[in-house]
Amino acid sequence: MKKQKKWSKNRHQIFKWGLQAFFQPYTKTKYGFSFKTFRDTKRRPYLILTNHQTTMDQFMFAMCFPKLVYMVATEDIFSIPIASDVIRYAVAPIPFVKAQKNVSTILTCKRIVKEGCSIMMQPEGNRTYSGQTEYINPSVSKLAKMLKVPLAFMVLHGGYGVRPRWSHTVRRGKCHCQVEEVLEYDQYKDWTDDQLYQYICQRLYVDESNDGKEYFSNRLAEYVERAIYYCPNCGITHFHSQGNKFHCTTCGMEMEYLPNKQIVLSNGQKAPYSNVKEWMFAQNDYVQSLPIKVTDKPIITDKVNWYLTKLHKHKKLIAKNVELQLYLDKVQLKTKYQTHTFNYCDVTSVIAMGKNKLGITTKDANYQIKGDVRFCPVKYVNLYYHFVAQQQNPKPEKEFLGL
């Protein structure tokens, strides 16, 4: 039997030092970032669990460790022409496909731990849109017990304020991260999966939606429409942002986004919802109230580009400038020559990717849909999971809407 090559390479550590030499002063200057180095006196592998607030947090977390840690990364970075090959060669991230069974990911994690190296993962799987830690998949506790290593809990504070997921700009402010606790394997090995899961959720929970801290920019509201799509006057709609203000394109209601991350009407009066977290809770409630029915007219449409994706392969463009139509029971992609329908009953997952991308997975293929800079993938994710919840028997008291 052919001997398996080691995942860890000496060059990975060299690239790590080089990247840190660049990113440490860059993040300090650009993001107001500071960190506390974790001194691993026992020189052993860890499963490092972190929250997920901003685009740069993987680099920020990595700086806390003198030795390279191998990061679990979503499939999106493996489809970038040229860059994905460079990333794999330089730091060898562990591939993970969202909303699918990832047997190869688990086997790779076991292999890396056996080689004496640590693994870092963000069990939310999604960057927060609202400042509050997103849903964590319970399978993380099973992985921890399988690896039988200490758990290092690392939390970034201030990342949402400095650069929200939906934003295109970095705000002036401070953020900081460090290992806040190490949970030894002997401490949790006799816990049930649910006990460990609840503990992980508790240790990684952060809510910065209304913490009183201020972050400054003259473009605070720009692209908040990537996260919100519900107007209390109009239902599902589009918003448009510019500078520190945004408005509903249907009724014209205008809001202002303040440095403390709160929202008011442009005239200074109280807004329907005080911050993005409250707004997203309201749109979740609205979606859950919608009856599942077949309609001839779409709820809303967007102009997008449509791609076919495969892990470790560059994505292939299927069509440009496609009309993406949202229904209660399906989505449709309408080109100049044909209409392709994704019935929700034939779809296995719908996910938000990055800032303005949507992933749709069927039994046969993975697709990526990229909209313009204002595209909101959240509404498509929420409507799909609302449909899934309504097919369950008995129906859940509180629906999981995909984030």
Domain of 166: which CATH number? Answer: 3.40.1130.10
The reported pLDDT for the residue numbered 311 is 65
The residue behind tokens 């999106």 is 76
- 93 shares a domain with 239: no
Average pLDDT of span 31-60: 90
- 159 shares a domain with 27: yes
Report whether 229 contacts 237 (CB < 8 A).
Answer: yes
- 192 shares a domain with 45: yes
- 275 shares a domain with 198: no
Report whether 262 contacts 274 (CB < 8 A).
Answer: yes
pLDDT band at 246 (very low <50, low <70, confident <90, very high): very high
pLDDT band at 90 (very low <50, low <70, confident <90, very high): confident
Last-in-domain residue among 238, 258, 288: 288
- 149 shares a domain with 21: yes
Q: Quick check: is 217 in a domain?
A: no
Q: Which of 28-42, 66-80, 184-198, 330-344 has the lowest mean pLDDT?
A: 66-80
Last-in-domain residue among 235, 262, 288: 288
Last-in-domain residue among 144, 176, 204: 204
Q: Measure the CA dihedral 19/23/25/27, to 10°.
A: -170
- 275/263 Cα distance (integer angstroms): 5
- 166 shares a domain with 55: yes
- 71/73 Cα distance (integer angstroms): 6
- 265 shares a domain with 132: no
* 313: CATH: 2.30.29.30
- 305 shares a domain with 272: no
Number of structural domains found in the chain: 3
Written as one letter, the residue type at 114 is K
Q: Quick check: is 271 in a domain?
A: yes
- 266 shares a domain with 154: no
- 248 shares a domain with 135: no
Report whether 169 contacts 133 (CB < 8 A).
Answer: no
DSSP 3-state of 234: coil
Q: Quick check: is 396 in a domain?
A: no
- 200 shares a domain with 111: yes
Residue 223 has pLDDT above 90, yes or no: yes
- 375 shares a domain with 327: yes
- 368/303 Cα distance (integer angstroms): 14
Q: Quick check: is 88 in a domain?
A: yes
Residue 311, domain extent:
300-390
Average pLDDT of span 383-401: 86
